[in-house]
Amino acid sequence: MRNWLLWQSPANNKKTTDGTLPLTNTPKRPLTLRDVSEASGVSEMTVSRVLRNKGDVSAATRQKVQDAAKRLGYVPNKIAGALASQRVNLVAVIIPSLGNMVFPEVLSGISETLEDTGLQPVVGVTDYLPEKEEKVLFEMLSWRPSGVIIAGLEHSEASQAMLQQAGIPVVEIMDTDGEPIDHCVGISHRRAGRKMAEEIIAAGYKRIGFMGTKMPLDHRARKRFEGFTRTLAKAGIEIADQEFYSGGSALAKGREMTAKMLERTPDLDFLYYSNDMIGAGGLLYLLEQGIDVPGKVGLAGFNGVELLDGLPRQLATMDACRRDIGVKAAQIIAALNAGDAVPDGPIVALDPTLAAGDTLRR
Amino acid sequence: MRNWLLWQSPANNKKTTDGTLPLTNTPKRPLTLRDVSEASGVSEMTVSRVLRNKGDVSAATRQKVQDAAKRLGYVPNKIAGALASQRVNLVAVIIPSLGNMVFPEVLSGISETLEDTGLQPVVGVTDYLPEKEEKVLFEMLSWRPSGVIIAGLEHSEASQAMLQQAGIPVVEIMDTDGEPIDHCVGISHRRAGRKMAEEIIAAGYKRIGFMGTKMPLDHRARKRFEGFTRTLAKAGIEIADQEFYSGGSALAKGREMTAKMLERTPDLDFLYYSNDMIGAGGLLYLLEQGIDVPGKVGLAGFNGVELLDGLPRQLATMDACRRDIGVKAAQIIAALNAGDAVPDGPIVALDPTLAAGDTLRR
DNA sequence: TTGAAAGCGCTAACAG
DNA sequence: CTGTTAGCGCTTTCAA
């Protein structure tokens, strides 16, 4: 029920540029096809065809309809259209957060790719909470989207069930360490952790500290940590110190944690950060302290965020292929949706590449 | 048309945890109320009532229905529901970008506030392009949302018309320098620029450089700049140098621009940046060069982003009240939607507060 | 407390 | 090329 009484736009009686008054002063009722039909003297069906560019319509009729639609300011009702056609051009995109640069980049990959497919991404945010993921998923599925792109391979049983029952393409993104419901596109975080460990070992570092987020539900960070420690263990190295934070400015936290850790364990010669932002904080701290980087202490982060370009020194990091993940996932959805075959198998694993920067000696 | 042929979930034949097989192996058709009705032996209408908690239903029937719905994994079809009830619980939120920390914060303010109103924010991104804003707005309005929250007071004529005709609450956010269609919540960017100028003048700086984005369509940045220069002019000061960038890492750009500008105009004693990120880049550069901040050169940015907390020195900035803007805007939409009166007038101007940090001498 | 009938605004399918 | 008819899956309204 809309509150017609309260709804009084102060701009309601503004003149349009050509000096005419707005068309309606009667309580606004959204226009329907019928209104356009009547205004143009063309049947509803034909109006519908014109407005959707579907089927053959004579140029003259088309013109009449378009004029009328424009003049009235008709906005089609997609709800009715979707119900009638059983077709919704929405793609649900479910991600844990918008706060760090990582997901926005995935999103831009998705939306650019979807741009000329007629599909529209719609974003839901879970805050890394499985219950919230469930809620968001349920909510989005109730709009009967044409596909789902969802971060991670770990979902509650209910979420899994919903995704399977939905009968639409599902692409799980960011991670490939696990079994996808349908398709997945991402990187292996275990492998990313391993690769970084190998690099560090090869560079001769021995006393390694780790800093990350206090998030048991961030499965990808966990997998990176696992891959990292296992590879170190194989080389007979154990993490010498570790610390986890939550909340606050990541840059500041990186700074603080680094200070604390170095005080506690002064002989550390390498610091591995679970994300670039805290890594950057650590880097700034070490430089201020006049500590030789990477001579005395080496550093590395994770993600390859653009921010790093502006730092005094280039932090070593690993690119998580965020944009590409978005693009690829969207391509799969688009293909499936068009009835095309998907060239890739169910798992598309991108290769996280190391950027050694200036904080990892070679 | 869904591609049933291609759609073969590899996980389709997975067992559930209790060992049973998934319920359907027939080609998946989304379930309807009727399915639940048949499975529970209760009329569709009553099922509908139970699922919406509407109207009185006996505890026994309610239980039967809920069991059936859960067992089948029924997900209601909001499209049909919305069409029938003429009510959509969506709020369109239209913003220029997700890339910088500013809009995500607004969003979190909005979604938190909307959380317990039954309204769902849906985000559209315009990339600061009026044509895109028009497209996004049209697209979103065609879903007949219950309200619109849209960044900025400047819209194309077509957008203005759509917003007025929509017959739903509209809150324009971020800016208050102009005339809102319905309601607006934000800060006065002219005032923000003026305030900063006053502060700088009071501190005795005289040779002032400005750096910003090359975005004629970022009206808020433009207004800040105007407020800033006008106030300086009144004190007989003219901007001594200015530069605008586009694209790339803001931090890196801030660094580059600062270096270039200081080379070109070495006697500058203050640098005003249109956003914190380039300001941070400039700050890092100056510190590296061993330049006395704020003794020799003072600095200020804009936005009050969290990132600044981790910098070696606290950049002077002005808080843009991003979260509060989101919260307030959502409150207005929610109130209007519930038919409640809105306590505030059409314009809610928040007060941008200065954080002098360590880069602006007092 | 429950059910039956009548649409919501649009499009698929067919007939002219 | 254009129009008619019959729903899409749900909720509103009214009657039982």
pLDDT in tens, B93-103: 999 998 888 89
User: In chain A, which residue's Cα lies nearest the Cα of B290?
Assistant: A288
Cβ–Cβ gap B28/A306 under 8 Å: no
Q: What is the pLDDT of residues B248-304, one digit of tens each?
A: 999 999 999 999 999 999 999 999 999 999 999 999 999 999 999 999 999 999 999
Could you give the angle at the alpha carbon of A199 between the alpha carbons of A197 and A204, nearest 5°? Answer: 95
Residue B275 tokens, joined: 């956003």
What is the average pLDDT score of chain A?
90
> Which band of pLDDT confidence, cut at 50, 70 and 90, is reported for residue A24?
very low
pLDDT tens-digit map of A301-349: 999 999 899 999 999 999 999 999 999 999 999 999 999 999 899 999 9
Mean pLDDT across chain B:
90
Contact map slice: B 311-330 vs A, CB within 8 A:
311-312
Chain A contact probe: residue of B132, B278, B309, B323 with most A CBs at under 10 A: B309
Rounded mean pLDDT of B335-358?
A: 93
Question: Hey, of A1, A4, A6, which one would you mutate to test binding to chain B, going by the most B CBs within 10 A of its CB?
Answer: A6
Q: How many residues does chain B have?
A: 362
- Measured from Cα to the C1' atom, the residue closest to D7 is A84
User: Across the interface, do A281 and B307 touch by the CB < 8 Å criterion?
Assistant: no
Separation of CA B24 and C1' C1 in angstroms? Answer: 33
- The pLDDT tens digits of the residues spanning A233-279 come to 999 999 999 999 998 999 999 999 999 999 999 999 999 999 999 99
Q: Which residue's CA lies closest to nucleotide D1 at its C1' atom?
A: A57
From chain A, the residues in CB contact with B161 under 8 A are 16, 22, 73
Contact B182 A9 (CB under 8 A): yes
Q: Please indicate whether, in this complex, the C-beta atoms of B11 and A181 are within 8 angstroms of each other.
A: yes
| 3-class SS of residue A90 | strand
B17 pLDDT above the threshold of 50: no
* B143 with A79: Cβ contact below 8 A: yes
Work out how many CB contacts closer than 8 A connect A with B.
212
State, as a whole number of angstroms, the distance between the CA of B60 and the C1' of D12: 24
Among B residues 227-286, those touching chain A with beta carbons less than 8 Å apart: 248-255, 280-281, 284
What digits encode the pLDDT tens for the residues A294-305?
A: 999 999 999 999
Name the closest residue on chain A to residue B158, using Cα atoms.
Answer: A73
pLDDT confidence bin for B136, thresholds 50/70/90:
very high
**CA-to-C1' span, B118 to C10 (A):** 26
Contact, A276 vs A305, CB < 8 A? yes
CB contact under 8 A, A342 and B5: no
Confidence of residue B131 (pLDDT cuts 50, 70, 90): very high
Nucleotides of C under 7 A from a protein CB: 1-13
User: Of chain B residues 113-132, which have a CB less than 8 A from chain A?
Assistant: 120, 122-123, 125
Tell me which residues have their CB below 7 A from strand C.
A 30, 32-34, 44-45, 48, 51-52, 54, 76-77, 80-81, 83-85, 87; B 42-43, 45-46, 49, 55-58, 60-61, 80, 83-84, 86
Task: Quote the pTM value.
Answer: 0.91
Taking residues B20-37, what's their average pLDDT? 69
The stretch B160-167 carries a mean pLDDT of 94
Mutant choice from B1, B3, B107 vs A, greatest count of A C-beta within 10 A: B3
